[in-house]
Amino acid sequence: MSTPPDDRHPDPEALAAASRTPVYKPVRRVPAEQSAVNRKEPDPGLGHALIPKERYTSAAFAQLEWERMWTKVWLLGGHLSDLREAGDYISTEIGRESVLLVKQQDGAVRAFYNVCRHRGNRLRPSGVSSAESFKCQYHHWEYHLDGSFKRIPDLDTFPQGAPECRGLRELRCEVWNGFAWFSLDPEAMPLLEYLGPVAEHLAPYHFHKMALKKDVTVEWDCNWKTSVDAFNESYHVQGIHPQLMWYLHDLDLQIDCYERHNRYLIPFGTLSPRVRTPNTIPEPIKVIMKGAGMDPADYDNPIASIRRDVQQFKRKHGASQGKDYSGLNDDQLTDDYHYTIFPNVQVNTHADDLMLFRQRPHPTNPDKMFYDVWVLELIPDGHEWPERPRHTDFKFGDKSIGLVLDQDAANLPGVQEGMHSAGIDGLWIGAQELRIRHFHKVLEDYLYGPAGSDARGSGGPPTAAA
């Protein structure tokens, strides 16, 4: 068998002419001298190598991820609005592990493996609930909220007595800005150190004053990184989300890569330079205006002024609406400050809401993942805290999770299939996708060590591909 000779001769000039990035005037941004959060990091030099496709499909690579990464990092457990009273708990899963995050009598949150010390039965199904104690349904071994043994039925029939451990195996657990985090690594660095600059950047957003409005888990037919990659670039807006071109600027992004995490800042409430200015305000931009308290029907300035006018309107009226924007700069009042908190948390941070994605690997199948969507909305001071929506769990296609995410979800299985194909050698990553390259670099550092860069450009993991 031989490859047929390639007699194609694409005209480089014609290709360039057909492919040019639209010319645009950059949006006005708050300069870093006025707001340090806007400071642009120098782009890291990460080369131009292909990203190996095998890491999206290889079970051995997934195992390496588990051993060297998932068990070493900090992982998001849940929102503190689910852990208000002593006994409130969140049961969440990562890989094959299940973890209980439990509100204590003293107000702290502690995390435990959700596994009975007797014969290993899972204590609680995944979800959010409240308990006075944790009693295993198998033989009724029972644990206090702090994980310590409360009752072991017929203990006198165990000649060896109770296990020497005092109860459930505990995990590192810390809270930050309205969220509870845990780590499977007893030696993990403190959470704040792990979050690095992201903790500081997100501090003024009042996540603890935001209420869950959506809590969904969808099983997707793709690797967890296929999903992370999709949300780490805006290059796909024109292809997958054409409607967003009348909502946001998909080219004028500020990309910043930090030690582990990265972000981009996307201007919202403005048009993509890929589309012509329409004669009426696009519906999605109207939603932004209405959210601020403006009436689009009473707006007479050009569409290009809306982003600025919304910022100024919010600045002027935020306090009277019970919303404290004092820690946010003007860009943060309209734009999407989108962070990837390594490895699997992505936050679309806005002044009045938060759209958070948590992407979890399937415990055994690299071609599947769990996609958690949490939408939170700022509850203005003096407003009643709304009832929590029920968590729903389903497979892709069974229900809608909103137009934009449905569009992403519909596309990703095809991308995953491509990772199995001989028709592609790896991912060809451009500058608009710098965050993808950075994310993979951080992953490689976990898997191979910072010095293990030999594996980086060479195609596959050194041992895992075997």
Partner 1 sequence: MDLGLRGKKAIVTGATKGIGRAIIELLAAEGADIGFCARNEDEVAETVVALKQRGVNVVGSSVNVRDAEAYKTWLEATTAALGGCDIFVPNVSAGAGMDSEKNWWRSFEVDVLHTVRGCETLMEALKASGQGAVVIISSTNAIETFGGPMAYNAMKAGLINYAKNLSQFVGRHNVRVNTVCPGPIYFEGGAWEMIKGTNQKFYEATEKAMPNRRFGSPEEVARVVAFLASPAASLITGANVVADNGYTKGVRY
Contact positions vs partner 1 (CB under 8 A): 242-243, 245-246, 275-280, 282-284, 286, 290, 295-298, 300, 302
Smallest distance from partner 1 to CB 267, Å: 18
Q: Which is nearer to partner 1, 285 or 375 (CB)?
A: 285
Burial 2-38 (b: 16+ CB within 10 A, else e): eeeeeeeeeeeeeeeeeeeeeeeeebebbeeeeeebb
User: Nearest distance from residue 321's CB to partner 1, in Å?
Assistant: 17
Integer Cα distance of 327 and 386 in angstroms: 25
Q: How far apart are CA 355 and CA 221, in angstroms?
A: 22
Q: What is the DSSP letter of 167?
A: B
| Min CB(278)–partner 1 separation in Å | 4
**Which CA distances in Å does 12 have to 47, 427, 447?**
23, 22, 39
Cβ–Cβ < 8 Å for 272, 248 = yes
Q: How far is CA 119 from CA 99, 155, 169, 289, 372, in A?
A: 17, 14, 14, 57, 30
- Minimum distance, C-beta of residue 182 to partner 1, in the bound complex (Å): 41
Least distance (Å) between residue 320 CB and partner 1: 19
Q: Please tell me the distance from the alpha carbon of residue 356 to that of residue 206, in angstroms, as a whole number.
A: 14
Residue placing its CB nearer to partner 1 in the complex, 275 or 373: 275
Least CB distance from residue 276 to partner 1, whole Å?
4
- Closest approach, Cβ 109 to partner 1, in A, equals 43
For partner 1, the closer of residues 214 and 286 by Cβ is 286
Residues 6+ apart with CB under 8 A from 15: none
Distance, CA of 429 to CA of 373 (rounded, Å) = 26
Closest of 105, 122, 107, 108 to residue 168, by C-alpha: 122
Give the strand pairing for 353-361 and 345-349: antiparallel
Residue 383 Cβ vs partner 1, minimum distance, rounded to whole Å: 22
For the bound state, the minimum distance from the C-beta of residue 240 to partner 1, rounded and expressed in Å, comes to: 12
Distance CA 247, CA 267 (A): 9
Residue among 199 and 245 whose Cβ is closer to partner 1: 245
**In the bound complex, what is the minimum distance in angstroms from residue 351's beta carbon to partner 1?**
21
E-only strand ranges, 209-270? 210-220, 254-257, 262-266
Nearer CB in complex with partner 1: 119/290: 290
Measured CA to CA, the distance from residue 357 to residue 394 in angstroms comes to 16
Cβ proximity to partner 1: between 282 and 366 the closer is 282
Q: Which is nearer to partner 1, 276 or 390 (CB)?
A: 276
The nearer residue to partner 1, 319 or 403, going by C-beta atoms, is 403
For 102, residues 6+ apart whose C-beta sits below 8 A from its C-beta are 83, 87, 88, 89, 109, 110, 111, 112, 145, 146, 147
How far lies 32's CA from each of 42, 95, 207, 236, 309, in Å?
A: 13, 40, 24, 28, 21
The strand pairing partners of 100, in sequence order, are 91, 112
Nearest distance from residue 249's CB to partner 1, in Å?
A: 15
Name the residue nearer to partner 1 (CB basis): 99 or 285. 285
| Residue number with CB closer to partner 1 (257 or 292) | 292
| 260 φ/ψ sector (left φ>0, alpha ψ -120 to 50, else beta) | alpha
C-beta of 104 vs 321, nearer to partner 1: 321
